[in-house]
Amino acid sequence: MVKALSWHETNLRWFVLCLIGVYPLAQFLIAEFPALLGEQIKNYFQVTQEDVNYLLLFESLPNMIMTLVGGLIIDAFGVRRSYVLFGIVVILGQFLCLISVFLQSFKLMIIGRFVFGIFESSGCVAESYYINKWFKDKENSFAYGIDTALCRIGSITASILYPFLYSASDNDLSRCLLMCFKIAIFSFITILILTQIDRFSDMRDKVEDQKLESIDLRQIKNFSLEFYITLISCATCYSVFFIFSYNSVEMFKQNFKLDQNTANILFSIPYYLSALLSPIVGYYLQRIGRNIEILIIACSCQLLTLTMFQMLPEFDSPCLIFPLIGSILNGLFFGIYFAVMWPYIPNIVPSHMVATGFGLIYSCINLELTCFSYIVANILRVENYENYLKMNSLLLLLSFIGFISLIYLLFSNQSKQRNSNHSQSNETDSTIQIELMVLCKQT
Residue 318: count of CB within 10 angstroms of its CB: 13
pLDDT over threshold 90, residue 158:
no
Q: What is the pLDDT of residue 138?
A: 66
In this predicted structure, which of 7-16, 143-152, 370-379, 429-438 has the lowest mean pLDDT?
A: 429-438
Question: What is the rounded radius of gyration, in angstroms, for the C-alpha atoms of the chain?
Answer: 24
Encode 270-337 in three state secondary structure: HHHHHHHHHHHHHHHHHHHCCHHHHHHHHHHHHHHHHHHHHHCCCCCCCCCHHHHHHHHHHHHHHHHH
Residue 209 backbone phi and psi in degrees, to 5: -60, 120
Bigger pLDDT: 146 or 306? 306
Encoded amino acid at 424, one letter: Q
The distance from CA 237 to its chain's CA centroid, rounded to whole angstroms, is 11
Best-predicted range by mean pLDDT among 23-37, 224-238, 359-373? 224-238
Average pLDDT over residues 338-359: 79
Q: Are 359 and 370 in contact (CB under 8 A)?
A: no
CA nearest 111: which of 121, 123, 100, 120? 100
CA–CA gap between residue 348 and residue 344 (Å, rounded): 7
* Banded model confidence at residue 88, pLDDT cuts 50, 70, 90: very high
pLDDT tier, 236 (very low <50, low <70, confident <90, very high otherwise): very high
The contacts of residue 40 (CB under 8 Å, 6+ apart) are: 166, 171, 173, 176
Would you place residue 127 in the very low, low, confident or very high pLDDT band (cuts 50, 70, 90)? confident
Amino acid, res. 150: L
The percentage of residues in the chain with a pLDDT greater than 90, rounded to a whole number, is: 24
- Tell me how far CA of residue 336 lies from CA of 11, 94, 241, 269, 378, in angstroms: 26, 32, 13, 14, 31
Answer left, alpha or beta for residue 214, where phi above 0 means left and psi between -120 and 50 means alpha.
beta
Average pLDDT of the residues in 263-270: 82
Measure the CA–CA gap between 272 and 155, rounded to whole angstroms. Answer: 10
Q: Which pLDDT belongs to residue 124?
A: 83
Torsions phi, psi for 313 (to 5 deg): -80, 175
Q: What average pLDDT does range 6-21 have in this prediction?
A: 75
pLDDT tier, 429 (very low <50, low <70, confident <90, very high otherwise): low
DSSP assignment of 60-105 equals: HHHHHHHHHHHHHHHHHH-HHHHHHHHHHHHHHHHHHHHHHHHHT-
Average pLDDT, the chain: 82
**Gap between the Cα atoms of 360 and 17, Å rounded:** 24
What average pLDDT does this structure show over 233-259? 86
Over residues 121-129, the mean pLDDT reads 84
Report pLDDT for 439.
62
Q: What is the mean pLDDT of residues 369-373?
A: 81
Other beta carbons within 10 Å of 5 = 8
How confident is residue 145, by pLDDT bands cut at 50, 70 and 90? confident
Are the CB atoms for 98 and 181 separated by under 8 Å? Answer: yes
Whether the pLDDT of residue 357 is over 50: the answer is yes
